[in-house]
Amino acid sequence: SAVISQKPSRDICQRGTSLTIQCQVDSQVTMMFWYRQQPGQSLTLIATANQGSEATYESGFVIDKFPISRPNLTFSTLTVSNMSPEDSSIYLCSVDKSGGLTDTQYFGPGTRLTVL
């Protein structure tokens, strides 16, 4: 497995502001993903964070709203920009350590965001 940490663990923010979430893994991993889980809902993939290149975004998510960085194989950030109450969610970082496309994904502890 992989040890994954996220910062912050939770935050309460005002609308119109931005928050950057950090994800740190204890070893180099091939694939890193960012998910959003709105209250009472399942997980929705925001984007795949690619090392050294632009992230690959899913339908409905755009770089201007959710810029992502991945400067190396152990670290990534997700920024939630110009926040509104609809952005209140748990944001989860996930990694695939092996690079095998059917292998287990492991998740960080999540960042619980509330936007007022």
Of residues 28 and 104, the one with the C-beta less far from another protein: 104
CA dihedral 20, 21, 25, 28 (to 10 degrees): -40
**Cα(55)–Cα(60) distance, rounded to whole angstroms?**
14
Using DSSP, state whether 8 is helix, strand or coil.
coil
Encoded amino acid at 111, one letter: T
Q: How many helices (H) and strands (E) does the chain have?
A: 0, 11
| Pairing of the two strands 19-25 and 4-7 | antiparallel
Q: Which parts of 74-93 interact with another protein (CB under 8 A)?
A: 90, 92
Q: Which x/- pattern over 14-53 shows residues binding another protein (rule: CB under 8 A)? A: -----------------x-x---x---xxx-x--x-----
Q: Which of 67, 75, 81, 110 binds another protein (CB under 8 A)?
A: 110
Of residues 76 and 94, the one with the C-beta less far from another protein: 94
73 is an interface residue for another protein by CB under 8 A: no
Using DSSP, state whether 85 is helix, strand or coil.
helix
Given the rule CB under 8 A, which residues bind another protein? 1, 31, 33, 37, 41-43, 45, 48, 56, 90, 92, 94, 96, 100-107, 109-110, 112
